[in-house]
């Protein structure tokens, strides 16, 4: 047998077990070796029978004195009872529902038992302990015992036994991390990592294995990021000179002053635009921090040099909103001239300036290379549209766009447009390189000063009527409110049930108001329609599930109600809250939760006190780990082993990755790495 042997070749493997393993994606011996435990039971403490204490994990080595099996509870349950002893005493052992057991064990056998002794009928007893025959290398007892994610038809013991059989092959696994890097970073080899992960000698050993796996992951991540960064730096883009009078003139014309951070971010972007290599920058800032305006400055500069700018939004309503904003701020302001072209293209809208125009006309404008700012949704990046003169792409809420859309950037002949991504998901500084290693980052951490903090309250259920009265008053004053509902249960994945139920309930209470409803089963067009009605204040309340992102700017909304608040992470709560407080009037966020767990109450109370998205993101990370927060689907973000404990590995991993790439960007000397990168890479060409 070798690493590539099929699992079918394992001795005594059963058909159902083969199916169960395949179900887990395990096809070969190597796959099996790389299926690591998710947790360990600590049965390292071995004891003598006379020293056993109730409630403590322990392993003992003993001889079976007697063993019998029978059926109890009207024959429905099998029961095996044994008495075992060592040279210090004896103890009763009971196993339920393991009918095969009495066949395997007989009086006189020497066995290890692992379990928790408890008092039963005045004496200590072990119930359902794990057992195995005494040996030099215990697998199921007397050690840190590995637990695996498994499917039915395959028992933990069976799985461990398979692993034991093939464990000697671990040392033949070829290491993807180059030797020199292992040496530099004092990391153990992959062979040792595999052996240790399955059967660690102790916690320190295990920590070495985990660290090694985390390093590998963040190393590959950094390799990908740096490779992309270096390759991009080789490409040519449009060098767009900073036109100071133009920008100054524009900024002076605004009804407000730019914040310091907005100015700094604009400056960083304008400098990138001057370079002949493409910009790849992320503008990160809380909802409502004023990112759009910064993006507009970049757009203005670019268009004014006679180029095209594409501004992509994830939804039609957001695209329209940006379009209106731009019309308000930019029209006629450009260098004293008429704006070249300002157009909107979505599935349902096709506008040039303020006029509706045929899509074909807009397409021609773009394909001819007419300078201008083209705002839209995915509709802008269809095959029939070929920007001829595209120098800057702005992507709003970049995480909502997939890999293919980013690949779209690289199809415009010899030059690559500059890319500016906007994101409202705050990533703590310590993790930025892990998540956005290939990007340059500008941050806006503070909202415009005139914005008031959103008054946030965790409302006790008995005060619910009061809260509703309060919202009624807000509505009477012309304001609007959001209500977010959590998913009730597994069967309600789209949130249809919960949101509908809440709407019915609110209709009775807010009988004078119009209420809109958003849930996961609505078609995109229906969602857009409802959001539009809310935006125009034809609906006063909008009930929405968490699965529907209400990424709209409704400055008139002043209340955000979140039901079942305990079910959301802090970062997510913050995203919801950011939907209000987008204008001058005081806004409110009310959390409801019937969860009485003190930890949960504390978490929600923390939220009522903290307004800063970055701070909340950090708290959230500490509490839940980032897999939960940032989603697994985003490319490069699906870490399995790397987590908050390993942030100190990011810099060294990055440095090692850079060293390799600088020597040879194709990595041809490292076939395994080369292949891995190919698997993961977004095809940019
Ligand atoms: P984001 O895209 O970051 O969520 P926006 O760019 O939509 O935020 O800005 C939110 C609101 O704040 C908009 O109405 C915008 O006009 C306004 N705004 C932007 N910058 C400032 C500023 N410096 N002072 C006051 N208001 C601002
Ligand atoms: Mg925005």
| Span 395-428, pLDDT tens digits | 987 665 655 666 777 777 788 999 999 988 777 7
Which segment of 170-184, 282-296, 519-533 scores lowest on mean pLDDT?
Answer: 519-533
What tokens does 498 get?
């919960």
The reply to whether 281 falls in a domain is no
Counting every residue written for the chain, the total comes to 685
Residues with CB under 6 A from ligand 1: 256-259, 262, 285, 287-293, 448, 450, 553, 582
Q: Pick the atom of ligand 1 nearest to 329's CA.
A: 16
The residue among 680 and 257 whose pLDDT is bigger is: 257
Nearest bound ligand to CA 262?
1
- Tell me the CA distances in angstroms from 222 to 182, 273, 434, 443, 462, one per residue in order: 16, 25, 7, 21, 52
Gap between the Cα atoms of 448 and 471, Å rounded? 26
Crossing angle (nearest 10°) for helices 598-609 and 613-624: 160
Are both 521 and 599 inside the same structural domain?
Answer: yes
Across the beta sheet with 418-423, the strand order is: 355-356, 350-352, 342-345, 372-376, 308-312, 390-395, 418-423, 280-285, 440-444
Beta bridge partner(s), residue 118: 125
Residue 295 pLDDT > 50, yes or no? yes
Q: If you measure from the C-alpha of residue 238 to the centroid of ligand 2, how many angstroms do you get, rounded to a whole number?
A: 26
- CA 126 to chain centroid, in Å, comes to 42
Q: If you measure from the C-alpha of residue 269 to the centroid of ligand 2, how many angstroms do you get, rounded to a whole number?
A: 17
Mean pLDDT along residues 589-607: 92
> pLDDT at position 168, please?
96
Across the beta sheet with 455-459, the strand order is: 455-459, 588-592, 557-562, 480-485, 541-545, 515-518
Are both 484 and 530 inside the same structural domain?
Answer: yes
Are both 483 and 503 inside the same structural domain?
Answer: yes
The reply to whether 519 falls in a domain is yes
Do β-strands 350-352 and 342-345 pair in parallel, antiparallel, or remain unpaired? Answer: antiparallel
Are both 102 and 161 inside the same structural domain?
Answer: no
Q: If you measure from the C-alpha of residue 578 to the centroid of ligand 1, how many angstroms do you get, rounded to a whole number?
A: 12
Are both 412 and 264 inside the same structural domain?
Answer: yes
Residue 151: helix, strand or coil by DSSP? coil
DSSP assignment of 575-605 equals HHHTTS--SSS--EEEEE-----HHHHHHHH
Gap between the Cα atoms of 269 and 284, Å rounded? 13
Are both 605 and 523 inside the same structural domain?
Answer: yes
Atom 9 of ligand 1, nearest CA residue:
290
Contacts of residue 428, Cβ cutoff 8 Å, sequence gap at least 6: 614, 617, 618, 621
> pLDDT at position 272, please?
97
Half-sphere exposure of 209 (CA within 13 A, CB side): 21
Helix, strand, coil shares of the chain, percent, nearest 5, are: 40, 20, 35
The reply to whether 670 falls in a domain is no
Mean pLDDT along residues 254-270: 95
Phi, psi of 133 (to 5 degrees): -65, 145
Are both 328 and 414 inside the same structural domain?
Answer: yes
Are both 34 and 56 inside the same structural domain?
Answer: no
Gap between the Cα atoms of 4 and 259, Å rounded? 60
Q: If you measure from the C-alpha of residue 549 to the centroid of ligand 2, how many angstroms do you get, rounded to a whole number?
A: 13
CATH code, domain with 465: 3.40.50.300
Which segment of 23-37, 84-98, 389-403 scores lowest on mean pLDDT?
Answer: 389-403
Nearest bound ligand to CA 259?
1
Nearest bound ligand to CA 288?
1
Residue 392 pLDDT > 90, yes or no? yes
Residue-wise pLDDT tens digits, 302-335: 999 999 999 999 888 889 888 988 888 876 554 4
Cα dihedral 503, 508, 512, 515, rounded to 10, equals 0
> pLDDT at position 683, please?
43
Are both 140 and 167 inside the same structural domain?
Answer: no
Rg (CA), the chain: 31
What tokens does 307 get?
């180029």
Gap between the Cα atoms of 497 and 503, Å rounded? 10
Residue 278 pLDDT > 60, yes or no? yes
Atom 10 of ligand 1, nearest CA residue:
288
Nearest bound ligand to CA 398?
2
Q: If you measure from the C-alpha of residue 357 to the centroid of ligand 1, how many angstroms do you get, rounded to a whole number?
A: 29
What is the pLDDT of the chain when averaged over all its residues? 88
> pLDDT at position 152, please?
82
Which segment of 249-258, 351-360, 616-625 scores lowest on mean pLDDT?
Answer: 616-625
Does this model's pTM top 0.75?
Answer: yes
CATH code, domain with 50: 2.40.50.140
Q: If you measure from the C-alpha of residue 257 to the centroid of ligand 2, how many angstroms do you get, rounded to a whole number?
A: 18
Choose among 358, 605, 603: nearest CA to 460: 605
Atom 19 of ligand 1, nearest CA residue:
290
Q: If you measure from the C-alpha of residue 426 to the centroid of ligand 1, how many angstroms do you get, rounded to a whole number?
A: 17
The reply to whether 215 falls in a domain is no
Q: If you measure from the C-alpha of residue 125 to the centroid of ligand 2, how many angstroms do you get, rounded to a whole number?
A: 63
Gap between the Cα atoms of 277 and 239, Å rounded? 8
What is the number of domains present in the chain?
Answer: 4
> pLDDT at position 373, please?
94
Question: Among 264, 265, 293, 295, which residue has the most ligand 1 atoms within 8 Å of its CB, making it the best to mutate?
Answer: 293
Are both 2 and 103 inside the same structural domain?
Answer: no
Chosen domain end from 581, 610, 639? 610
Mean pLDDT along residues 230-253: 93
% of the chain exceeding 70 in pLDDT = 93
Are both 34 and 45 inside the same structural domain?
Answer: no
Nearest bound ligand to CA 325?
1
- Expressed in angstroms, the distance from the first to the final Cα of the chain is 41
Q: Pick the atom of ligand 1 nearest to 259's CA.
A: 23
Residue-wise pLDDT tens digits, 112-161: 999 999 998 878 999 999 999 999 899 999 999 999 999 888 889 999 99
> pLDDT at position 636, please?
46
Choose among 93, 135, 140: nearest CA to 117: 93
The reply to whether 629 falls in a domain is no
- Tell me the CA distances in angstroms from 457 to 233, 562, 602, 610, one per residue in order: 48, 10, 13, 11
Phi-psi region of 547 (alpha: psi -120 to 50; beta: other; left: phi over 0): alpha
* Residue/partner pairs of 572-577 with CB below 8 Å, 24 or more apart: 572/546, 572/629, 573/607, 573/616, 574/286, 574/607, 574/613, 574/616, 574/617, 575/287, 575/424, 575/425, 576/482, 576/484, 576/546, 576/550, 577/454, 577/456
Q: If you measure from the C-alpha of residue 27 to the centroid of ligand 2, how many angstroms do you get, rounded to a whole number?
A: 46
> pLDDT at position 104, please?
85
Residue 584 pLDDT > 50, yes or no? yes
Question: Among 284, 288, 394, which residue has the most ligand 1 atoms within 8 Å of its CB, making it the best to mutate?
Answer: 288
Residue 263 pLDDT > 90, yes or no? yes
Chosen domain end from 594, 610, 626? 610
Chosen domain end from 423, 444, 468? 423
Residue 533 pLDDT > 90, yes or no? yes
The reply to whether 180 falls in a domain is no
Residue-wise pLDDT tens digits, 42-78: 999 999 999 999 999 999 999 999 999 888 767 778 8
Q: If you measure from the C-alpha of residue 292 to the centroid of ligand 2, how many angstroms do you get, rounded to a whole number?
A: 6
Atom 26 of ligand 1, nearest CA residue:
448
Q: If you measure from the C-alpha of residue 255 to the centroid of ligand 2, how many angstroms do you get, rounded to a whole number?
A: 18
Residue-wise pLDDT tens digits, 33-52: 999 999 999 999 999 999 99
Judge whether 541 and 515 are in contact, CB under 8 Å.
yes
The residue among 405 and 258 whose pLDDT is bigger is: 258
Are both 101 and 11 inside the same structural domain?
Answer: no
The reply to whether 587 falls in a domain is yes
> pLDDT at position 72, please?
76
Q: Pick the atom of ligand 1 nearest to 555's CA.
A: 14
Residue-wise pLDDT tens digits, 599-645: 899 999 999 999 888 888 888 777 766 655 554 444 445 788 888 88
Residue-wise pLDDT tens digits, 165-199: 999 999 999 999 999 999 999 999 999 999 999 99
The residue among 284 and 430 whose pLDDT is bigger is: 284
Atom 23 of ligand 1, nearest CA residue:
258
The reply to whether 481 falls in a domain is yes
Contacts of residue 436, Cβ cutoff 8 Å, sequence gap at least 6: 225, 282, 427
Residue-wise pLDDT tens digits, 547-582: 666 567 788 999 999 999 998 888 889 889 988 988
Gap between the Cα atoms of 242 and 240, Å rounded? 6
DSSP assignment of 432-501 equals HHHHHTTSEEEEE-S--TTPPPPEEEEE-GGGHHHHHHHHHHHHHTT-EEEEEE---SGGGTT-HHHHHH
> pLDDT at position 141, please?
94
What range defines the domain where residue 550 resides? 455-610
Nearest bound ligand to CA 318?
2
């Amino acid at each position: 047998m070798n690493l590539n042997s099929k699992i079918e070749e394992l001795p005594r493997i059963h058909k159902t077990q083969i199916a169960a393993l395949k179900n887990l994606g395990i096809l070969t011996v190597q796959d099996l070796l790389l299926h690591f435990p998710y947790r360990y039971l600590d049965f390292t403490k071995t004891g003598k029978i006379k020293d056993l204490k109730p409630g403590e994990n322990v392993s003992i080595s003993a001889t079976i004195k007697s063993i019998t099996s029978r059926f109890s509870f009207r024959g429905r349950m099998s029961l095996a009872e044994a008495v075992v002893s060592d040279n210090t005493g004896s103890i009763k052992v009971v196993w339920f529902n393991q009918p095969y057991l009495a066949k395997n064990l007989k009086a006189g056998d020497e066995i290890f038992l692992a379990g928790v002794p408890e008092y039963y009928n005045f004496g200590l007893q072990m119930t359902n302990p794990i057992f195995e025959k005494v040996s030099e290398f215990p697998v199921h007892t007397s050690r840190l015992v590995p637990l695996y994610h498994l499917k039915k038809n395959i028992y933990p013991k069976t799985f461990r036994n398979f692993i034991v059989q093939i464990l000697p092959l671990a040392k033949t696994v070829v290491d993807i991390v180059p030797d020199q890097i292992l040496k530099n970073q004092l990391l153990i080899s992959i062979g040792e990592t595999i052996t240790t992960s399955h059967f660690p000698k102790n916690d320190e050993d295990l920590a070495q294995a985990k660290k090694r796996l985390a390093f590998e992951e963040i190393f590959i991540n950094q390799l990908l990021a740096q490779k992309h960064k270096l390759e991009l730096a080789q490409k040519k883009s449009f060098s767009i000179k900073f036109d100071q009078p133009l920008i100054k003139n524009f900024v002076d014309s605004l009804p407000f002053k730019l914040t310091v951070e907005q100015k700094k971010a604009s400056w960083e972007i304008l400098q990138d635009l001057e370079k002949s290599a493409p910009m790849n920058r992320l503008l990160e800032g809380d909802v409502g921090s004023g990112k759009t305006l910064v993006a507009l400055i970049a757009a203005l500069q670019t268009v004014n040099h006679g180029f095209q700018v594409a501004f992509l939004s994830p939804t039609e309503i957001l695209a329209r909103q940006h379009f209106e904003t731009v019309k308000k701020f930019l029209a006629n302001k450009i260098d004293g001239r008429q704006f070249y072209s300002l157009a909107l293209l979505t599935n349902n809208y096709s506008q040039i300036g303020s006029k509706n125009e045929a899509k074909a006309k807009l397409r021609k404008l773009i394909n001819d290379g007419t300078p201008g700012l083209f705002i839209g949704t995915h509709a802008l990046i269809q095959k029939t549209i070929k920007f001829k003169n595209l120098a800057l792409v702005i992507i709003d809420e970049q995480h909502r766009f997939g890999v293919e859309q980013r690949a779209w950037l690289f199809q415009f002949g010899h030059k690559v447009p500059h890319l500016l991504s906007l994101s409202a998901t705050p990533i703590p500084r310590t993790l930025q390189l892990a998540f956005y290693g290939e990007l340059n980052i500008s941050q806006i951490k503070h909202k415009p000063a005139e914005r008031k903090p959103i008054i946030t309250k965790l409302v006790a259920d008995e005060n619910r009527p009061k809260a509703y009265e309060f919202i009624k008053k807000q509505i009477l004053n012309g304001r609007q409110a959001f209500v977010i509902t959590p998913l009730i249960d597994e069967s309600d994945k789209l949130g249809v049930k919960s949101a509908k139920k809440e709407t019915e309930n609110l209709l009775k209470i807010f009988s004078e108001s119009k209420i809109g409803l958003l849930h996961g089963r609505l078609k995109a067009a229906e969602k857009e329609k409802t959001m539009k009605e809310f935006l125009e204040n034809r609906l006063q309340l909008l009930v929405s599930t968490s699965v529907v992102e209400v990424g709209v700017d409704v400055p008139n909304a002043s209340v955000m109600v979140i039901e079942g608040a305990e079910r959301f992470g802090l970062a997510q709560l913050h995203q919801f809250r950011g939907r209000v407080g987008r204008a001058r009037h005081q806004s409110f966020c009310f959390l409801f939760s019937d969860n009485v767990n003190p930890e949960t109450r504390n978490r929600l109370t923390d939220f009522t006190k903290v307004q800063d998205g970055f701070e909340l993101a950090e708290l959230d990370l500490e509490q839940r780990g980032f897999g939960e927060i940032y989603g697994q689907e985003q490319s490069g973000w699906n870490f399995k082993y790397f987590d908050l404990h390993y942030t100190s590995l990011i810099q060294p991993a990055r440095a090692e990755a850079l060293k390799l790439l600088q020597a040879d960007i194709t990595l041809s000397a490292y076939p395994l790495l080369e292949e891995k990168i190919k698997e993961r890479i977004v095809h940019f060409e």
